[in-house]
Amino acid sequence: MNPPSKTRSAVKILAVLKKAHPDARCALNHRNPLQLLMATILSAQCTDVRVNKVTPALFRKYPTAAQLAKAPLPQLETLVRSTGFYRQKAKSLKTMGRILTDRFRGKVPRTLEELVTLPGVWRKTANVILGNCYGVPGIVVDTHVKRLSFRMGLTRRTDPDKIERDLMKLLPRKDWTFFSHAMIFHGRRICTALRPACPTCPVNSLCPKRGV
């Protein structure tokens, strides 16, 4: 069981983040679950800015899972090359399209258990889809959420799945998706990896590891 003080701290941090980043949202441009799934797969080891430059052409050329499944692998590789690890990502996209077509009638599934059966999809990716497309709250533990959660004393874990479970115990379920977005925004804007702006950080008074 989590200490009451840690739960209170998490709720206070959430309140501060709501005021500091009311615009927090998914930074990957998309219009439907399939597009977000494709974009999230491409975002591994790549910036959202770069992914958003690549996906418009990808979405236009392969708007459905069936079309993605039939895509020539060299064409996919060319389209996603600038996102890094392009061969593996192209293979994951094509295989994902085939599985969606064969097993899910071309639709992106609505459960975490089904989503993680897709290539290139882990709990983080599944929670992105569930929270932003289907309204199912989830904690997304990316590099920012991992770093900030440790700095703020919300977890001592290093494994993303264990961090996710720690945060789920501390925060109201209805706020899980927003909290993830807000932590990511905060990590990009203020609590950066190398030079966190602690003196101007609104979470400063609640953070036990200022400047770490």
Residue positions annotated with a catalytic role: 124, 142
Cα distances from 52 to residues 57, 59, 65, 164, in angstroms, run 10, 11, 19, 26
Distance CA 78, CA 54 (A): 10
As a 3-state breakdown, the chain gives helix, strand, coil percent values, each rounded to 5, of 65, 0, 35
> Quick one: angle between helices 176-189 and 160-170, nearest 10?
120
Q: Token digits for 195?
A: 């030079």
Neighbours of 30 (CB within 10 A): 20
